[in-house]
Structure formats: structure tokens, C-alpha cells
Amino acid sequence: MSALTDRYKEMGGEIKFIKPRRCIRVNTSKISAEALKARLEKKNVELEQVPFLKNAFYVKSKFNLVSSPEYLLGLFYIQDAASQIPVEVLNPKSLTLDMCAAPGSKTTQLCERVPVIAVDSNKDRIKALENNLERLGFDNCIVYLLDSREIKKKFDSILLDAPCSGNYILEEGWLKMNNLKRIQERSYLQMELISKAISLLNNDGVLVYSTCSLEPEEDEFVIQFALDNFPVKLEKVNSIGDDGLTKIFGKKLDPTMKFCKRLWPSKTNTIGFFVARLRKC
């Protein structure tokens, strides 16, 4: 048992080691969901539509899908269902900034809808992003090797999938390796990034903030910081998951925090996740 374990009950969740269902996202810029389904079924892959996502399937396959021609041709991306939610929630209509873009699961998901400015400060991860853009065949993304805090241009929609401590489903031994100090350090960086993101939003623009952390310090507390310090309001996230916490560890948070969603692996069969949608007013 780690120091973190006891906190989960108070948050309404529990530690339960599940294996999230393997999920793919169809690259609809190359193929329709129906056509891909038919092609993969011909190869004896079992596909089941993810009920809360438009172009995603849970998959079961006797062979490694990564070695299939369909994967190599960029017809799909292997991406956990929870991780596909932020782009659905952002639902952008114009040029979008992806602030922490690499390795590119959400960037390529955005590219199916709108042109994208993708920024990341990690050179190795940027290579993975470029590789994914090439494999999926997108022509509408500009990539910058840059700390997103250096950006000046303004946007109507921004995705901030913030660097986070992760969660116990993603990494073996996560509970032992992590502690409150590390989580707090991440939280400070996330507050810095969300401040920057809001400063880059046009009035009435939308920011989606997400993490794959289940720790309130990286989720609700960051959103509370934004609500307390900037002209933003929360909008309802229509997705699966529990409502955001409005009271935790003796702290009372903004009542609209319930508009956020937190995904507990034991309840959603996904990785742990948190999503918030903010509008600048």
C-alpha cells in the first residue's frame, strides 16, 4: 500500500488493476469506420464499436495489429478510449493549438477535423509525432520544437493534454514510484501551462484540459486555480466517467467542477483520465 492508495476512497474510486480494453481510432481522412471494420474482420479481428466515441472500436486480434498492412498504411491509430475523449470534447471548428502534442495521438485526431499547430519541447517525442503524422498522411499540421510557454499567437481552440504523473494502470509499480511531492511538482507545471493556455485563447475561445492522472492536485485543483485567477468558466463535458470532485481533502471547490469528468479504470475499463472544458469569457 502506498501513501496515495488511501486517498482514492475519499475521491470515490478504488485501486483495481484492470487491463483496459484495446482500442483503435479510425483515421477517417483515409477510410470510413465501416470500410476499416470490414477489412479487419476479413482478417478475423473482432471489432466492437465504442459506445461513447464516433470512430473507435474495441478490438481483439490473434496477431499484433501493429504489424498489419492497415496499421502501416495509417488507416487507424491504437489509442485508449479515454484518451480519445478530449478531442471529441473540444470539437474544434478552426485552427487549433495542441500545446503538449507528442507523440501525437490527439494531434492526429485533431488533424482529421482542423489544421493544427502542434508544439512539444521534447526532441525525441517530436520524432514520434512526425512519424505518426507521416504514417497517417496528414498535410495540415505544423510542428514546433518549442516550450509552449513561448507562443504568442492567439487561438479559438486549444488542447492542453498536460504532462502528468500518470496513473497506476499505465505503469507497473506506479503506486510505489510516486509520491505527493512529485505530484505537487507536476501540479505547479500544470498551473503554469494552463495560465499560458488561457492567455493564448481568444475571447469566447475553448480550452480542453486533460491529464491521465487521477490525483486532484493535477486535475480539479489546477482547474480551481484557473477559475480563481482567470476569466474562464467550466462547461459540461458530455462523456462517460464520474463528475469532477467538488469537495476533497477538506477543500471545497467550485460547484461547476462537477462539469468535469474523471475516469476511474475500474468503472470505465479505460486508463485513468480527467477532462475539463473551459471557455474564456
Asked if residue 124 binds another protein (CB under 8 A), the reply is: yes
User: According to CB under 8 A, which residues from 235 to 274 bind another protein?
Assistant: none
Given the complex with another protein, which of 140 and 256 has the nearer CB atom?
Answer: 140
Residue 115 in contact with another protein, rule: CB under 8 A: yes
Q: Which one of 1, 153, 228, 281 is in contact with another protein (CB under 8 A)?
A: 153
What is the identity of the amino acid at 214?
L
Report the C-alpha gap between 161 and 190 in whole angstroms.
10
- Residue 52, SS3 per DSSP: coil
Q: Answer yes or no: are the C-beta atoms of 117 and 89 closer than 8 Å.
A: no
Q: Applying CB under 8 A, does 22 fall inside the site for another protein?
A: no
Tell me how far apart the alpha carbons of residues 253 and 221 are, in angstroms, rounded to a whole number: 8
Radius of gyration in angstroms for the set of CA atoms belonging to the chain, rounded to a whole number = 18
Under the criterion CB under 8 A, does residue 143 sit at the interface with another protein? yes
Marked catalytic residue, from 111, 141, 164, 212: 212
What is d(CA 266, CA 241) in angstroms, rounded to the nearest whole number? 11
Per CB under 8 A, the segment of 9-17, 133-141, 180-188, 225-233 that binds another protein is 133-141
Choice from 4, 110, 126, 193 touching another protein (CB under 8 A): 126
Among 7, 22, 125, 258, binds another protein (CB under 8 A): 125
Q: How far is CA 10 from CA 147, 167, 263, 280, in A?
A: 36, 17, 15, 31
Which segment (46-54, 69-77, 190-198, 229-237) binds another protein by CB under 8 A?
Answer: 69-77
67 part of the interface to another protein, by CB under 8 A: yes
121-145 burial string, b = 16+ CB within 10 Å, else e? Answer: beeebbeebbebbebbebeebebee
111 given a catalytic annotation: no
DSSP class of residue 167 equals: -
Block residue for cell numbers 474523471: 262
Among 95, 170, 183, 189, binds another protein (CB under 8 A): 95
For the bound state, the minimum distance from the C-beta of residue 143 to another protein, rounded and expressed in Å, comes to: 4
Among positions 16, 60, 93, 127, the unique one binding another protein when judged by CB under 8 A: 127
* 138 contacts another protein (rule: CB under 8 A): yes
The set of catalytic residues is 212
